[in-house]
A = this chain, B = another copy of it.
């Protein structure tokens, strides 16, 4: 159908290069939903064998961290995020219950101590497996970003908040 239909490609095994040390031990502790800010500090503890791979990383202000949602629910193609009361396609959300449970977080690098990277902005649980670390190099200008259903959900909530008390339905 798609021009040269082939066998489904094989799975690629990904092996953690370290773990996140985080103040969060339970998903309920991680700030989520509207206005959530990630101000927690944590440590990326890279395995000794990979320490040479960190050479020169201290020159970068921000890093991408790729990690595994190792305590997520089984994947679901539709997700109802904390920011909305409607379901959306999982690829339109940050839901952990994804076909490939890979998380992506931008953190600020505060300090490197050998194979430990002290970072700001963790939203992972303690002992989360880290798959990769990459330098954060450039940004899409904020004015160019459209945030789809997220912006709509925020607008809906703002309207509800503006209504006189008692007119909103239940605990929004």
Is the pair B56, A89 in contact by a Cβ cutoff of 8 Å? yes
Q: Shortest CB–CB separation between residue A7 and chain B, in angstroms?
A: 12
Identify which of residues 86-103 in chain A touch chain B, using a CB-to-CB cut-off of 8 Å. 87-94, 98-102
- A sample of 14 cross-chain residue pairs with beta-carbon separation below 8 angstroms, ordered by A number, consists of A9-B16, A17-B99, A17-B100, A54-B89, A55-B87, A55-B89, A56-B148, A56-B149, A99-B132, A102-B131, A135-B147, A135-B150, A136-B140, A141-B142
Which of B11, B52, B100, B148 lies in contact with A59, CB distance below 8 A?
B148
Nearest-Cβ distance from residue A92 to partner chain B, whole angstroms: 5
Q: How many copies does the complex hold?
A: 2
Instruction: Place the interface of chain A in its size category.
Output: 35 or more
Nearest CB on B from A33, distance (A):
13
Q: A59-B92, A59-B152, A136-B140 are in contact. List 12 more A-B contacts (CB 8 A).
A: A9-B129, A12-B101, A13-B14, A50-B77, A53-B78, A53-B89, A59-B146, A61-B140, A64-B104, A66-B104, A137-B145, A137-B147
